[in-house]
Amino acid sequence: MTMLAERVEIVIGVDTHKHTHTAAVVTAATGAAVEDLTVSTDPSGYQLLVDLADRHGQPRLWAIEGTGGYGAGLTRHLRSLDEEVIELDRPERPARRHGAKSDPLDAVRAAREALARPRLAQPRAEGTRSALSVRLTARRSATGAATDAQRQLNALVVAAPETLRSRFRGQRTSELVATAARLRLNPQWDPETTSTAIVLRCLARRSQHLTAEADDHERAIRQLVVSWRPDLLEVFGVGPIVAATVLCAWSHPGRCHSEAAFAMLAGVAPIPASSGQTTRHRLNRSGDRQLNRALHTITLNRLRYDDTTRAYAQRRRAEGKTDREIRRCLKRYIARQLFRQLESPLDQP
């Protein structure tokens, strides 16, 4: 691996915020801070940062905290100018006396952290990946809100007056939602029954609306996945939502330097936890939890429907492995399979 200081003259660290960005120019050879500047988060402010970098020469690199959040606009602007950008996760800030905080110091720290790292993270890709990301976020929000409405509906039905409760007795959730959405008010009802019926109908229609919205997002997600990587949908246990989640985390070829790095990103790389003569591994609870959930979904589908996976689980169970350990191994293998497929061009198997 080539150290960053051997190929660039300066590193511009950027501490990002919602309304302002603070950049600091640091020399790669010595790590000395040369100049800093705070600008607004708009195109004119981004250009001021580019002018700041131009005063200190080439070659250079930008180390930005939160390229997918507060730093997304600046990252997009720099990429349009063919600038080299790396992504830094927001580090834990060291304690300062009296709670003082300095954005220029944080920007310098970002640049020096980039110089110290043996491997540098690339920002996630834009275009189809960003489209999938926003669709997944919207669908996740819609399904969560619909589920909340259904829970509230079930709870209200349990405590509803018998006039209403008798209409829902023995119904499943989907039937309950449909019945509640069709409720009509009776002028002879007392205020409690009338209010309960109004709320039940409101919650049911809200659930139906949110479910329809989630279905629309899922159809759009499927179209985006088919236009980008249709081969993922051919993998056993992978549907459009799982495929979109994997693609959003993977982003583009080369972002994860190895399948082990992809497994660590997914939180499925086992963590050694050995002491003395005991050799074991601890569950990895870090990484992208949405990606981890996607791999878990694939694992459960294969354990239920795939004969090869069931035979593997039976063999490992005979060796003394628990079901949790077997799922952990399978998730690691699936991460390897998906990474190799994603890193290969579409015309290769």
Three-state DSSP class for residue 235: coil
Q: How far is CA 278 from CA 245, 272, 274, in A?
A: 36, 11, 5
Dist CA 96 CA 109 (whole Å): 14
| Per-residue pLDDT tens digits for 36-53 | 999 999 999 999 999 999
Tens place of pLDDT per residue across the chain (349 aa)? 357 888 899 999 999 999 999 999 999 999 999 999 999 999 999 999 999 999 998 899 999 998 989 999 999 999 999 999 999 876 555 555 555 568 899 999 999 999 988 888 889 999 999 999 999 999 999 999 999 999 999 999 999 999 999 999 999 999 999 999 999 999 999 999 999 999 999 999 999 999 999 999 999 999 999 999 999 999 999 999 999 999 999 999 999 989 999 999 999 988 877 766 666 667 788 889 999 999 999 999 999 999 999 999 999 999 999 999 999 999 999 999 999 999 998 765 4
The helix/strand/coil state of 342 is: helix
- 22 touches 107 (CB < 8 A): yes
List Cβ neighbours of 152 (8 Å cut-off, separation of 6 or more): 203
Place of tokens 């905290």: 65
Look up residue 213 and give its two tokens: 């919205």
Cα angle 224-227-230, degrees, rounded to a multiple of 5: 100
8 Å CB contact between 83 and 62: yes
Question: How many C-beta atoms surround the C-beta of residue 258 within 10 A?
Answer: 11
